[in-house]
Amino acid sequence: MVQVRSVAAGRGWRWIAEGIALFQKSPLMWLMITLGLFVAYKLILFIPVVGVAAILMMPIVLVGLMEGCRALDLGRPLKPAYLLSGFTHNTAALATLGAVYLAGNLLIVLVIAQLAGDSLTQVLQFMAKEKVTPENIHLIREAVSKATVAVLVGWLLSIPLVMASWFSPLLVYLHDMKIAQAMLLSLRACIHNMMPFLIYGGLLFGALMLVTPVSMATRILDLGMWLLAPLVIPSIYASYKDIFPATAAPPGEVTPA
């Protein structure tokens, strides 16, 4: 049985530091892989059906990236071929995890839309026009208040979904767990390590705020996340190795030529 370890709050910082150390072992390759994924993701989104398929493949890509992290951790070179690892073991289950995550996010969006009504549209229209008058200020305040509550509820609902999805791909891939079992164990692992995750999340949020001006300037709203990805991805591996220390060697590991 897979054991979950509770670690000290300071480990939240150490996960980022260990992620940076893994990045520094092969910075150019990390940047190339991340850039390749970014370009592929943006191109795929232009094709509606394929775009949905790309979301389903996210857990598959994640375990491939984790294989790359493990390779670096063991002193091996990082190569793009590790991205194929998720296609060698429990691929269908990993894709199903992607479908569950997509469905969960769609439900959250529906909840936000139901709570917000037309307020989100009104707020966006106001932001576009940037015009406040004595006649509309009351309506704007109501719309902003309603939209804020809706977004806050959506954010709160997304937290357990993210926690259940954080480790589940690796638990399915490495330990052949059923999807529900993996998501519940991932959720439990995050809850048992709430303090380090709060520190970890706070530091990542601060870093995201630092790169947000770049996203705004380029009008690519998710660019900040992609810029941080070469550091964040190895930190996910560091958190998994810390909380699940008795991790077996990955099945179906790809050995790059």
| pLDDT one-digit tens code per residue, 127-184 | 555 555 565 566 666 666 777 787 788 888 989 999 999 999 999 999 999 999 999 9
Average pLDDT of the residues of the chain: 84
Residue with the bigger pLDDT between 192 and 124: it is 192
How far apart are alpha carbons 37 and 50 in whole angstroms? 15
Reply yes or no on whether the pLDDT at 238 is more than 50. yes
Query: Which tens digits make up the pLDDT trace of 42-92?
Result: 888 777 777 777 778 899 999 999 999 999 999 999 999 999 888 988 899
What is the pLDDT, as a whole number, of residue 123?
60
Q: Is the pLDDT of residue 252 over 50?
A: no
**pLDDT-above-90 percentage for the chain:** 45
Higher local confidence (pLDDT), 112 or 53: 112
Range 117-129 average pLDDT: 62
> What pLDDT does 247 receive?
56
What is the DSSP annotation of 80-120? GGGGGGGGSSSHHHHHHHHHHHHHHHHHHHHHHHHHHTTHH
pLDDT of residue 253: 45
pLDDT (0 to 100) of residue 128: 55
Any idea what the Cα angle at residue 60 is, between residues 57 and 65, rounded to 5°? 125
| pLDDT value, residue 43 | 83
* CA angle, residues 99, 23, 69, in degrees to nearest 5: 50
Nearest to 169 by CA among 103, 219, 97: 97
Answer for the pair 161, 101: CB distance below 8 angstroms, yes or no.
Answer: yes
d(CA 35, CA 236): 19
Rank 215-219, 223-227, 244-248 by mean pLDDT and report only the highest: 223-227
